[in-house]
Amino acid sequence: MSEHEQLTASDRAERSRVDLSRIVLAVEGVLLLVVGLIGLATGQVAWFQFTAWQAVVVLVTGVLALLVILRRRLVLPFAALQLVGYLALYVSGIAQGSTGRATHWLFLGIAVLGVVVAMTIWAGGRRVLTRKPPY
């Protein structure tokens, strides 16, 4: 019997959610890699203005996202760290009084993407038990 045949339906559903998250991280990784490289070279990508360290952070996140997709078990911790890290970058940008900068909104968007990836994986972890109706 093959590995696929031995998996239960819930195991297959969980794997498909993780695989969907891996696809999202692959797209994110490529986009952040390109944005980080261009931001590092020019300091600006479209309407996003980057300092050197911001471009490096985006570049490193893109590289890590591409590395994480190689191992299923790393997807959830990466999404959680992405959420915390980019939320901290967004809040620090607000604290510095630069809320109007598009770059900080990009950081908030990356943090929200971390939530979406994490919730996609966690969604199947909860099983709802229902009772049969009394009639």
Burial (Cβ within 10 Å: 0-12, 13-18, ≥19) of residue 69: buried
Q: Where along the chain do its domains lie? A: 13-124
- Is the Cβ–Cβ distance between 98 and 48 less than 8 Å? no
- Distance CA(97)–CA(27), nearest Å, equals 31
36-93 pLDDT tens trace: 999 899 888 888 888 888 889 999 999 999 999 898 888 889 999 999 999 998 888 8
7-25 pLDDT tens trace: 566 556 666 667 778 888 8
Strand partners, 48: 45
Q: What is the reported pLDDT for 28?
A: 92
Q: What is the reported pLDDT for 84?
A: 95
pLDDT at position 119 over 70: yes
pLDDT: is 5 or 118 the higher one? 118
* 26 Rama class: left (phi>0) / alpha (psi -120 to 50) / beta: alpha
φ/ψ of 15, rounded to 5, equals -65, -40
Packing angle between helix 9-42 and helix 75-95, nearest 10 degrees? 40
